[in-house]
Amino acid sequence: MDNNNNVVGAFELLQGFIQKGDASSLKKELLKSTSDVEYRDDNGNTLLLIAAYLGKSDCVDILLEIGQANFEAINVFGQNALTLASYVGCIDCIKMLLTKWSYKNYTESTLLPPLCVAAMRGHLEIVDLFCQLTPSPNDIKSVHGVTPMDLAKKNGHIEVVQRLLEAAKPMERSGKEKEKCFTTRYKPYSKK
């Protein structure tokens, strides 16, 4: 029981650094030990999921590089780090995450695909990025059959609807080119 209290305490300490956006303290603690980086809260959120949801890109970077955080983690709501970063609209977090796993993998591992989340929230820059990584953006659906277009319309995001309509125009790509677009990882993220 005492060991579990230590793990919970360490998790809460690291979570506190993330919430404050204190990347230097997070880094300092992770350099001591990364053993608590995959601990989960009551909702199944790891530190990486929390950092992505809060849009703390410096913390996401540290968790991925120093903490070796599991970028495939899913919480009890079926959300992964890319879905959560899409919700908050953190393009820097998204670009970092896409260097670790393909957009297709993130999309297939969640109940509500990241493109659906970005469209629902009206994050045009993110919708644009995901449309570039997806051979048929309008064919993506949630587990309930809801499309990004449905969500953008419902929430009145006209620019997103227009972007999705552009994406619906037939592309002059071969089948292999379409598949490559969907499975290729994003170019490595570099800080400006």
Residues 81, 73 contacting (CB under 8 angstroms): yes
Asked whether the predicted pLDDT for residue 113 surpasses 80, the reply is yes
Query: What DSSP string describes 128-188?
Result: HHHHHT-S-GGG---TTS--HHHHHHHTT-HHHHHHHHHHHSPP---HHHHHHHHHSPPPP
What average pLDDT does the chain have? 87
Residue pLDDT, tens place only, 27-79: 999 998 877 789 999 999 999 999 999 999 999 999 999 978 999 999 999 99
Domains of the chain and any CATH numbers: 1-77 (1.25.40), 111-192 (1.25.40.20)
Residue pLDDT, tens place only, 88-108: 999 999 999 999 999 999 999
pLDDT of residue 176: 57
| Percent of residues, the chain, with pLDDT higher than 70 | 85
